[in-house]
Amino acid sequence: MDVINYIIKRILQMIPVFIIVTIVIFFMIRMIPGDPAAVMLGSKASPEAIASMREKMGLNQPMWTQFLIFLKDLFHFDLGTSVKYNQSVSSLVASRFLVTAALTAVSTVFSVIISFILGYVGGMKKDKWQDQIIRFASLFGLSAPTFWIGLLLLTVFAVNLHLFPVSGWGDTPLDHIRGLILPGITQALGVSAVMIRNLRNNVIEIKGSDYVEFAKSKGLKNSVISSRHILRNALIPTTTLLALKIAYMLGGSVVIESVFSLPGLGALLVNSINARDYAVVQGVVLTFVIMVMVINLLTDIIYSILDPRVKLS
């Protein structure tokens, strides 16, 4: 069927991108100054100790040799081993992937709830008091730094009210969800402001369009007009924006995971860059690339579902 063919075609298109990114990252990270052996052993290590460690880590081999070894391993689906954690990169990434994916999912759910509802209400009640409040709130959300909002939420809901943990991933699935609520809301607030405005403007534009006027004059019920005509049409550009924002949230996970102590890919990436753990940096970047490409693919498919005029090609 069309959709399946389209998906296969897109996946095939991803492969060259994947390869190029791999090569670029491999060389880029190794060209940055900084010696993984020195970082690992700390400042009290003697130059001999560091030289010894470099030898052991295979860092003294020429760059091309290291690249060929890397390619050979990649062929066997081996992403290498982390020097810091003594674990295969694939198992390391797999264990952290869940956290970041869950965080992004929770943030997406919250941003959808917040922005779709507020954007729609703001648009329908243009210039009335509801709209004024929503516009003010979204402007505030846009200007205030995300981590500051996060700290506020933490102080009120975690420290004072004890409703959620201050940080941490926890041990049980229930703990996991509880631990994701505050970071999820924090990320969602940062992203929602733009989406609220976008949806609101779309709703206003559509409300004033010809076919809505015509629908009203036909005598259709308001609720039918809202759902079938206004909402569905207004959501199309907003959904595209949402996809962009999700990719943005993946990047933002680096900060959020540090503040809320979530053991996810973002935190792993930062730690690995600081430690110059080359294999892990490559593995995490590749994972992010795949996640963004998958999200784009899903967005295009949803777009084609929402807007029957669009054909997947």
Residue with tokens 């759902």: 227
Q: Give the residue among 224, 277, 242 at the shortest CA–CA distance from 79.
A: 277
Q: How far is the CB of 271 from other proteins (least distance, A)?
A: 7
- Residue 261 in contact with other proteins, rule: CB under 8 A: yes
Nearer to other proteins, 21 or 50 (CB): 50
**Residue 158 DSSP class:** I
Q: Which span sits near other proteins by CB under 8 A: 10-18, 195-203, 238-246, 261-269?
A: 261-269
Nearer to other proteins, 17 or 151 (CB): 151
Q: Which one of residues 18, 147, 248, 303 is an interface residue with other proteins (CB under 8 A)?
A: 147
- Residue 169 in contact with other proteins, rule: CB under 8 A: yes
d(CA 167, CA 179): 7
Burial class (CB in 10 A: 0-12, 13-18, 19+), 253: buried
Q: Which span sits near other proteins by CB under 8 A: 134-142, 221-229, 239-247, 303-311?
A: 134-142
What is the contact mask toward other proteins in residues 171 to 210, using x (rule: CB under 8 A)?
----------------------------------------
Burial class (CB in 10 A: 0-12, 13-18, 19+), 104: buried
Site for other proteins in 19-78 (CB under 8 A): 32-50, 52-53, 56
Q: Which span sits near other proteins by CB under 8 A: 16-24, 113-121, 240-248, 266-274?
A: 266-274
Q: How far is the CB of 168 from other proteins (least distance, A)?
A: 7
Q: Which one of residues 58, 61, 117, 140 is an interface residue with other proteins (CB under 8 A)?
A: 140
d(CA 121, CA 137): 13
Inter-residue contact 185 to 110 (CB < 8 Å): yes
d(CA 221, CA 204): 18
Residue with tokens 């990169």: 89
d(CA 18, CA 10): 12
> Could you tell me the end-to-end alpha-carbon distance of the chain, in angstroms, rounded to an integer?
12
d(CA 98, CA 264): 7
Nearer to other proteins, 143 or 217 (CB): 143
- Residue 98 in contact with other proteins, rule: CB under 8 A: no
Q: Is 69 helix (H, G, I), strand (E, B) or coil?
A: helix
With a CB cutoff of 8 Å and minimum separation 6, the contacts of 163 are: 157
Inter-residue contact 73 to 89 (CB < 8 Å): no
Q: Which one of residues 158, 220, 225, 293 is an interface residue with other proteins (CB under 8 A)?
A: 158
Q: Which one of residues 23, 69, 139, 177 is an interface residue with other proteins (CB under 8 A)?
A: 139
Q: Give the residue among 30, 224, 235, 7 at the shortest CA–CA distance from 123.
A: 235
Q: Which one of residues 276, 278, 282, 295 is an interface residue with other proteins (CB under 8 A)?
A: 276
Q: Which span sits near other proteins by CB under 8 A: 1-9, 12-20, 232-240, 253-261?
A: 253-261
Q: Which one of residues 66, 90, 201, 271 is an interface residue with other proteins (CB under 8 A)?
A: 271
- Residue 218 in contact with other proteins, rule: CB under 8 A: no
Contacts with other proteins: how many residues (CB under 8 A)?
A: 57
List interacting residues with other proteins (CB under 8 A): 32-50, 52-53, 56, 84-87, 91, 136, 139-140, 143-145, 147-148, 151, 154-155, 158-159, 162, 165-169, 258-261, 263, 267-268, 271, 274-276
